[in-house]
Amino acid sequence: MKKSLFLFLALVFLGAFSSQSQTNQITLKVNMSDQTVSPNGVHVAGSFQDWNPSSTPMIDEGNGIYSYTFEASEFANLNFKFINGNDWPQSEAVPAACGLPDGFGGYNRILETGGVDVIYGPVCFGECVNCISVVELTTVNLTLRVNMSEQTVSPNGVHVAGNFQEWNPSSTPLTPVGNGVYEVTVEVPANEDAVFKFINGNDWPQQETAPLDCAVGDGFGGSNRVLAVADMDMTFGPVCFGECQDCAPIVDPNLVTVVFQVNMSNTNVSANGVHLAGNFQGWNPNGTIMNDLGGSIYEIAYEVEANSTIEFRFINGSEWADAEIVPAECGIINDFGEYNRTLNVGDSNQAFGPVCFSECSDCEIVVPTMVIFQVDMSNETVSTEGVYIAGSFNDWDPTATQLVDGGNGLYQGIAFINPGTTVQYKFLNGPAFAGEETVPMECGVINDFGGYDRQIEVGTEMITTEMVCFGTCSACVVIPSVELTFNVDMTGQVVSAQGVHVAGTFNDFSPSSTIMTNVSGNLYSVTVSAPQNQTILYKFINGNDWPFVESVPFECGVSDGFGGYNRSIVTDDVDINLPTVCFSSCVACVPDAVNEVSNEMLSFYPNPASSVITVQGNYRGNFKIVNSIGSLVAMGTMNSEFQQLDLSGLSEGLYIIYTDKQMELGRFIKE
């Protein structure tokens, strides 16, 4: 009874197991050794993955073999092909001898899985069998090892030079691996001689001279090591520097532990951390990283030889350029004219530090001093982005320190600066050096750009700088102002949807900042503040940009430096309401002439035009053509309803036609 029950349970278990085992593991392999493999890799596409040429990359197993493993149903009939890339144009051409038609004039590989796991291939890409030829290994890895335990290792490290790296004495450094042994692995041609020598440093004067028992003359009075390289990876050494065999064993010295500590509180710590370099660790600037204990203290414990004198330096980073500058009073001079720290080690564990980075003793607690910078911007048009200060205290960042508007043109900014610091700075009208002030020589110090910076010495007491005028050495001189009212008559003009503006010296000739108000009919007016007893230059604009500026007649204008004219007025100490003038005219508009011109406005076609333009209209008489800045470029006479103008002599841009009485007849564009 028990035996029957056991058989029953066994059959149930086997039945359950067989019902669960309905898939097999399929591995497809292809040999690409006869192909140049695509940068996009090798893929497989088939009925098991919806024939997608880019979704199934194969794994590089080495020696040209690529594979892909997946689960497939038992007794499945799989169709597939390999792809050298990730798209159909790179698919293999499967021979008919081992494929089935794919319906597109080619063939697919086919695999019936059966009821067991299957490994298909490797087969050669585009062939029925594996590749016949196998690419021979042309290079091997050669590990070179030298024992420097009998040498004082150069601060520049240990190098090797040879025929495999163009005999460069500084390009191939060796890495210390312990017990005085240094090694490097290089790639060398297989089945050829490797010729080389070790260098205690990084230049030829520090090269070894190996005995001729194990070397050959180099033709320069020295010797080279020679090693016959086979077709497999090899290791040479370790050999003792300048000898044929390894160095004699060195009795380990009595070692003690020295705990080194450095205080970095006065230094911005490098993202690469703080390191220790010394003669006890090969002067490697990135080999011994120190631990951050918090509170700006960094520490490392290192075993050194008892009863020895060690030299070392702390590194704020991981390169020699980041090394501290050890003061002469607590250092010993080295071969580079600088100073190393030194410590006489006894026969028991001891500690060094903490010392302040680049100082002889520990860091003093530094309380930054508050400095309040002040500038008066009363005589400036302040940038919409505000006023800034840039200086040595903020790394000359023009955006780092914005000043606060205190009203009446006065701005202040606060910075906290360590005592004993000399600070150079200047104010900026906006967050860029394009708006920097020009500091006068009388109150500045020369900088590296031929200009001058302001300068202060920071002590322990709070400093409030003297309120100075932007770009000067003293307080601003307040320039009294008057109210100046401009009036223009736009009769005869089609007023722009952007309105009428006035630009002048009072607003830095901005064509869009001072819009005029339509007070009645065609009359526009605006009142601005202007300095007393100064010449104010200005002109009106039918719109808000320079192409629509009026053409000021020379009879009532002064040269604008661009071939045109500006209007001008000299202020005194009383407000001025300027008389109304006609746009582009010296006098008020003439009503009769306006009516006449409005009936005689000209039309142009095509407009824009490139070479010839046709003018149509009722106007008869002389006319003149001016460009967008008011310069006269041509004159003519309109004597018929249709008339053509030759534009070949004109530059691209906007042109305006006026009557002799400065009334506008129309506008056209030369393209």
Question: Residue for token digits 């309401």?
Answer: 577
Peptide bond into 89 cis (omega under 30): no
The pLDDT of residue 152 is above 50: yes
pLDDT at 511: 95
- Is the bond preceding residue 238 a cis peptide, omega within 30 degrees? yes
Cα distance between residue 88 and residue 40, in whole Å: 13
DSSP lists the bridge partners of residue 16 as none
Residue 594 has pLDDT above 50, yes or no: no
Q: What is the pLDDT of residue 5?
A: 32
The model's pLDDT over 471-518, given as tens digits with 9 standing for 90+, comes to: 999 999 877 889 999 999 999 899 999 999 999 998 889 999 999 999
Token pair in block for residue 22: 């309905």
CA 428 to CA 437: how far, in whole Å?
A: 6
Please report which confidence band the pLDDT of residue 6 belongs to, taking 50, 70 and 90 as the band edges: very low
Q: For residue 537, what are the contacts with CB-CB under 8 A and spacing of at least 6?
A: 504, 505, 558, 560, 566, 567, 568
Q: Give pLDDT tens digits for 20-50.
A: 447 889 999 999 999 999 999 999 999 999 9
pLDDT band at residue 657 under the 50/70/90 scheme: confident
Block residue for tokens 């722009």: 496
In 577-586, which positions are buried (b, 16+ CB within 10 angstroms) versus exposed (e)?
eeebbbbbbe
Sign of the dihedral through C-alpha 77, 79, 80, 81: positive
10 φ, ψ to 5°?
-65, -45
pLDDT in tens, 595-646: 444 556 788 888 888 888 888 888 888 888 877 656 788 888 888 888 888 8
Residue 127, both tokens? 């062939």
Cis amide linkage into residue 249, ω under 30° from 0: no
Give the residue-averaged pLDDT of 356-373. 91
Q: How confident is the model at residue 390 (pLDDT cuts 50, 70, 90)?
A: very high
pLDDT tens-digit map of 408-439: 899 999 999 988 899 999 999 999 999 999 99
Say which residue, 621 or 366, is predicted with more confidence: 621
Of 219, 262, 214, 205, the closest CA to residue 240 belongs to 214
The pLDDT assigned to 51 comes to: 94
Closest by Cα among 224, 204, 222, 206 to 214: 224
Kind of pairing, strands 452-458 and 445-446? antiparallel
The three state secondary structure string of 284-349 is: CCCCCECEEEECCEEEEEEEEECCCEEEEEEEECCCHHHECCCCHHHCEECCCCCEEEEEECCCCC
Q: 């205690």: which residue's tokens?
A: 200
| pLDDT above 70 coverage of the chain, percent | 93
Q: SS3 sequence, 440-454? A: CHHHCEECCCCCEEE
CB 175 within 8 A of CB 186: no
Q: Of the segments 188-192, 230-234, 417-421, 548-552, which one has the largest average pLDDT value?
A: 548-552
Q: What is the DSSP string of 586-611?
A: SS---HHHHHHHHHS--EEESSSBSS
Residue 379's pLDDT is 85
Q: Model confidence at 232, in pLDDT bands (50, 70, 90)? A: confident
**What does the mean pLDDT of the chain come to?**
89
Q: CA–CA separation, 562 vs 549, rounded Å? A: 13
Ordered DSSP codes for 143-196:
EEEEE-TTS---TT--EEEETTTTT-SSS-B-EEEETTEEEEEEEEETTSEEEE
pLDDT band at 17 (very low <50, low <70, confident <90, very high): very low
Structure tokens at 356: 């302040």
Query: DSSP of 110-153, one letter per residue?
Result: EEE-TTS-EEEEEEETTSSS--S--PPP-EEEEEEEEE-TTS--
Task: Give me the pLDDT at residue 595, please.
Answer: 44
Residue 457 pLDDT > 60, yes or no? Answer: yes
Q: Which two tokens stand for residue 135?
A: 């690419």
For residue 626, what pLDDT is reported? 79
The alpha carbon torsion through 150, 156, 159, 162 (nearest 10 deg) reads -130
Residue 20 burial (10 A CB sphere; 0-12, 13-18, 19+): exposed
604 vs 657: CA distance, rounded Å = 11
Closest CA to 383 of 453, 425, 433: 433
Residue count of the chain, please give it.
671
> Cβ-count burial of 639 within 10 angstroms (0-12 exposed, 13-18 middle, 19+ buried)?
exposed
Say which amino acid occupies 270: S
Question: What does the pLDDT average to over 247-273?
Answer: 88
Residue 576, class by beta-carbon neighbours within 10 Å (0-12 exposed, 13-18 middle, 19+ buried)? middle
User: So what's the pLDDT on residue 133?
Assistant: 55
Q: Which residue has the higher pLDDT, 292 or 638?
A: 292
- Find, among 200, 191, 195, the residue nearest to 216 by Cα: 195
Q: pTM of the predicted model, to two decimals? A: 0.35
Report which of 493, 597, 607, 603 is spatially closest to residue 551, judged by C-alpha positions. 493
Question: What tokens does 185 get?
Answer: 């692995």
Domains and CATH numbers, the chain: 21-124 (2.60.40.10), 139-240 (2.60.40.10), 255-356 (2.60.40.10), 369-469 (2.60.40.10), 481-582 (2.60.40.10), 594-670 (2.60.40.3080)
SS3 435: helix
Coil vs helix vs strand at 662:
coil
**Which candidate, 398, 466, 392, places its Cα nearest to that of 425?**
392
